[in-house]
Amino acid sequence: AFCPGGRWLVSISVPPTYPLQAPKMRFVTPIVHPNIALQTGEICLDLLKDAWTPAYSVLECVRAVRMLLSCPETDSPLNVDVAAAAEGRRRRWHEEARRVLVCR
């Protein structure tokens, strides 16, 4: 598992046009992950962008982000350097992720 016991603060903003528009989600706590921008917390997840439909709920978005933590999408990373580390050196990536989490 990715950083077992790790906890991150995620901001969820539901727009007035919900459910026609996806909620905005971003990590407030810094996280080292291929699909999350370290500086801004932006989450690269199709469900939160182009794949959104009113059939989805905020809870399903939270579940999708949790799944993304366990199963990064290294084919379309937001953080290319971390994706390369995750692909080739998973142990080192997990160590760096834990270091950032512990230091905060």
3 as an active site residue: the answer is: no
Q: Which two tokens stand for residue 4?
A: 């077992």
Q: How many CA atoms lie within 13 A of 92 on its CB side?
A: 9
pLDDT in tens, 4-62: 777 899 999 999 999 999 999 999 999 888 899 989 999 999 999 999 999 999 999 99
Q: Which of 26, 22, 25 is nearest to 54 (CA)?
A: 22
pTM: 0.78
Walk me through the domains of the chain, giving residue ranges and CATH numbers: 10-103 (3.10.110.10)
Catalytic residue (choose from 44, 61, 71, 103): 44
